[in-house]
């Protein structure tokens, strides 16, 4: 899953693809580099980020989705917490909804996803982007995330989203410390208890920067690949990444090793 942020303030590439033509070119580039999904977001969810109004979010993402839909032969995902944005994106050509709030921010979003038959990624986040990194703590990290995701799955199915359209994401970096993120990756296979495909986003994130003492997100490629390899070995089905070519090649090697091991 290739990341395309149409934002001026995202942690890694804020402002880089704010121009609609450059956003289109980057989407085409990621598709040619082997992306299977393009994930388009107009609201930054970096730590400390403020909420963005619906109109501004739509103005950022809808023209880009319209320009890409039909031009590249892979699904488009809309990264949003808002029902109105999701519906406009699905009308414009998206087929996946990626909600970092796990359907808890906007009660109408689940119904929109069900109405359009969209695949839906339910992510775990403790708190909101504005406050999620203010000393997050857990009594039992993995169990609490699993129960939260189970609750999000219940919201989804109650709204009519088919079980087979649901994907889960434990939410690396969203209300987690360095130690929490490492534990999630180390124990990622435990999330298989939910019987859902697992999406994971480790690319360029701050926990990698802390491990490597690397403040520049764009310089965290090697660390991102290492975390992605561990995630795939532990059962991740989708990697949400900025560097599609490198991540795809690394994943192909892991898949080959896993196949030999399974055989």
Query: Which pTM was predicted?
Result: 0.93
Q: Percent of the chain, pLDDT > 90?
A: 83
Annotate 192-244 with DSSP letters as a single string.
GGG-S-BEE--TT-HHHHHHHT---GGG-HHHHHHHHHHHHHTT-SEE-BS-H
Over residues 170-199, mean pLDDT? 97
Domain count, the chain: 1
CA dist list (Å): 107 to 101, 138, 145: 11, 25, 20
d(C-alpha 102, C-alpha 153), whole Å: 8
Question: Catalytic one among 82, 205, 220, 234?
Answer: 205
Q: Which two tokens stand for residue 206?
A: 């701050």
The CA-atom distances, in angstroms, between 76 and each of 28, 73, 98, 235, 250 are 12, 9, 10, 23, 23
196 labelled catalytic: no
**pLDDT category, 152, cuts 50, 70, 90?**
very high
Q: What is the pLDDT of residue 14?
A: 47
pLDDT in tens, 93-111: 999 999 999 999 999 999 9
Known catalytic membership, residue 210: no
Residue 11: pLDDT band with limits 50, 70, 90:
very low
Residue-range definition of the domain harbouring residue 16: 2-262
Q: Considering the chain, what is the average pLDDT of its residues?
A: 93
Catalytic annotation, pick one of 240, 248, 259, 261: 240
Residue 186: CATH number of its domain: 3.20.20.20
Q: Rg for the chain (alpha carbons), in Å? A: 17
Q: In which band, very low, low, confident or very high, does the pLDDT at 127 lie, cut at 50, 70 and 90?
A: confident
The percent of residues in the chain predicted with pLDDT above 70, rounded, is 95
Q: Please compute the mean of the pLDDT values over residues 36-65 and round it to a whole number.
A: 90
SS3 138: coil
Amino acid 130: pLDDT = 77
Q: What pLDDT, on the 0 to 100 scale, is given for residue 8?
A: 76
pLDDT band for 16, please (50, 70, 90 cuts).
low
Q: What is the pLDDT of residues 209-262, one digit of tens each?
A: 999 999 999 999 999 999 999 999 999 999 999 999 999 999 999 999 988 766
């Amino acid at each position: 899953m290739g990341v395309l942020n149409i934002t001026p303030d995202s942690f890694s590439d804020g402002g880089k693809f704010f121009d609609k033509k450059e956003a289109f070119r980057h989407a085409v580039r990621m598709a040619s580099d082997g992306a299977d999904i393009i994930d388009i977001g107009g609201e930054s969810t970096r730590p400390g980020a403020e909420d963005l109004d619906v109109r501004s979010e739509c103005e950022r993402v809808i023209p880009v989705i319209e320009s890409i839909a039909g031009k590249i032969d892979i699904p488009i995902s809309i990264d949003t917490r808002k029902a109105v944005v999701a519906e406009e994106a699905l009308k414009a050509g998206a087929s996946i909804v990626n909600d970092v709030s796990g359907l808890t921010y906007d009660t109408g979003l689940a119904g929109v996803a069900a109405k359009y038959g969209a695949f839906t990624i339910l992510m775990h986040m403790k708190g909101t982007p504005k406050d999620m990194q203010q000393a997050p703590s857990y009594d039992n990290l993995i169990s609490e995330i699993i129960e939260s995701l189970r609750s999000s799955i219940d919201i989804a199915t109650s709204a009519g989203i088919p079980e087979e359209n649901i994907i889960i994401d434990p939410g690396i970096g969203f209300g987690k410390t360095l130690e929490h993120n490492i534990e999630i990756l180390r124990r990622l296979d435990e999330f298989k208890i939910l019987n859902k495909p697992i999406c994971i986003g480790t690319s360029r994130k701050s926990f990698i920067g802390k491990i490597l003492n690397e403040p520049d997100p764009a310089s965290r490629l090697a660390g991102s690949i290492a975390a992605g390899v561990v995630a795939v070995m532990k059962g991740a089905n989708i990697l949400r990444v900025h560097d599609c070519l490198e991540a795809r090649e690394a994943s192909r090697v892991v898949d080959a090793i896993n196949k030999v091991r399974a055989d």
